Amino acid sequence: MTGVGWDVGLDWPGFAPLHGDMTADACVVGLGASGLAAVEAFADYGMTVVAVDAGRVAGGAAGRNGGFLIAGPEDPLHLAIERWGECAVDLYRATLDELRTLAERYGPAVVRPVGSIRLAGLPGEPRDEAEAADRDAELADCARQVVALNAHGIAVEEYDGPLGRGLFLPDDAATNPAIRATLIARDAAMRDRLCENTRVLEVGRGRVLTEHGTISAGAVVVAVDGRLDVLLPQLRDRVRTARLQMLATDAVPPRLPCPVYGRWGYDYAQQLDDGRLFVGGGRDRFLDDEWTSESHPTEPVQAYIETVARRMADRPVTVTHRWAASVGFTEDGRPLCTRIADGVVAVGGYNGTGNLVGPVAARAAVDWIVDGTPPPAYLST
């Protein structure tokens, strides 16, 4: 019961590591969703690119997350507006555009346009008075979210069904994150040099030093979410690494029509067409332990996630895979897009919602470097 459930059946021959020194117009560090978006953005400017990753394409959080393609920031829109102002709406629209582009490019086999459900609490009757009170509070928060979404013309419906009560967001989608990333990487590798298993040792102006050689490039984007504070210690006061844990189960009868997240988004699940459940969460219940750069699953969190899986399935489940990944969090929930040196910009701190936010931040980083366009206000510089 180890390994990443998303990798079952994944056809990925991989890329060779970097071999010796190289020169290109641009270098990208990280081959997750944001790094691949940066590679594409540089290529759109007609620039040559060398991109590296310490492991496999999407071997970190980009290929180990819940597979939710959810528009907007981590916070519900009304809370993000309270914290950042109206620029939160701009981020919501930018992620919707990113999702539409991805769906048009790869179609419903990769991007399933099924929407998402925000539940108040978890499926089933509350287990105690505290859970009942928390569910009521979340229902009230859902009502505030509806007001904000309606005010900005963003689709939302109330959900009242077999799983409980909450909201249905019809514009959202689901994916296998590993397949999504490797398909994008295959396309990018037709133009540019992508290298796996190449650990970066140092990033500086015009130069990226790796364990296998040095890349000389006038433009550099560091697109690393989890452990960004390890690679770039100067960002330790701005981004913090946390561990997110998941598991996969054997097939159960159809129950989840789309990605479902509940209990204020801390717990989440997706059911594939073959009936398997992919379930994660519980970080808030073990918060002190989960602020870590370690990326192996732990027994307490996994035991809790199993209870979430049973509630999502409404029956006993058999776990087949367990895994964890590192992600970056910022204090105010705004993703980072920050200059490290002349021609060097780092992006990260997606607060657990990097599938769409990450590519948006990465494209902004490339625009900033190449043509001087300042990043949008919803990105922390």
Euclidean distance between CA atoms 270 and 308, whole angstroms: 12
> What domains are there in the chain, each with its CATH number?
16-65+178-238+333-371 (3.50.50.60)
Whole-prediction pTM: 0.97
Residue 6 has pLDDT above 90, yes or no: yes
Q: Over range 234-243, report the average pLDDT.
A: 97
Euclidean distance between CA atoms 280 and 292, whole angstroms: 17
> Scanning the structure block, which residue is given the tokens 């219940």?
285
Q: Over range 121-144, report the average pLDDT.
A: 97
Residue 1 has pLDDT above 70, yes or no: no
Q: Over range 66-92, report the average pLDDT.
A: 97
222: alpha, beta or left? (left if phi > 0; alpha if psi -120 to 50): beta
Residue 254 has pLDDT above 80, yes or no: yes
Structure tokens at 197: 């298993």
Euclidean distance between CA atoms 88 and 86, whole angstroms: 5
What number of residues does the chain have? Answer: 381
> Scanning the structure block, which residue is given the tokens 């699953």?
297
Q: What is the pLDDT of residues 23-51, one digit of tens each?
A: 999 999 999 999 999 999 999 999 999 99
Q: Over range 120-128, report the average pLDDT.
A: 96
Return mean pLDDT, the chain: 97
Other beta carbons within 10 angstroms of residue 190's beta carbon come to 7
Given pLDDT bands bounded at 50, 70 and 90, which one contains residue 230?
very high
Q: Over range 183-202, report the average pLDDT.
A: 97
Euclidean distance between CA atoms 25 and 46, whole angstroms: 9
Q: How would you classify the pairing of strands 193-195 and 49-52?
A: parallel
Residue 231 has pLDDT above 90, yes or no: yes
Residue 359 has pLDDT above 70, yes or no: yes
Q: What pLDDT was estimated at residue 2? A: 73
345-355: burial string, b at 16+ Cβ within 10 Å, e else: bbbbbbbbbbb
Residues whose CB is less than 8 angstroms from the CB of residue 127 and which lie 6 or more positions away in sequence, other chains included: none
Residue 16 has pLDDT above 70, yes or no: yes
Which residues on adjacent β-strands are paired with residue 262? 267
